[in-house]
Amino acid sequence: MPETQTIEAIYENGVLRPLQTLIGVAEHSKVKIIIECQQTQPHPLLQFAGILSDEEAAQLQSVIDQEFEQIDSNGW
């Protein structure tokens, strides 16, 4: 029966990097990984959901559209 270990890892650049040494696992060994995320980070704009009325949101969108029309894309 295979040995089971619980370790913590960081997901960086598409690779899981263990935070401690894997005991009894040889280099290039095939392992089975079960992912359990410990942190969930809500989208930063989620805190604003539902605080504007539809009219306020439309006004805000209008102001944004008007301001962006004033940017000279050739000036960048």
Quickly list DSSP for 10-31: EEETTEEEESSPPTT--TT---
Given a contact cutoff of 8 angstroms between Cβ atoms, the answer to whether 60 and 52 are in contact is yes
Q: What is the largest CA-CA distance in the chain?
A: 68
The pLDDT profile of the chain, 76 residues, written as one tens digit per residue, is 468 899 999 888 999 999 998 988 999 999 999 988 877 777 777 777 788 888 888 898 898 888 887 767 676 6
pTM: 0.43
Those residues with Cβ within 8 angstroms of residue 20's Cβ, 6 or more apart along the chain or in another chain: 7, 8
Give the pLDDT score at 73. 67
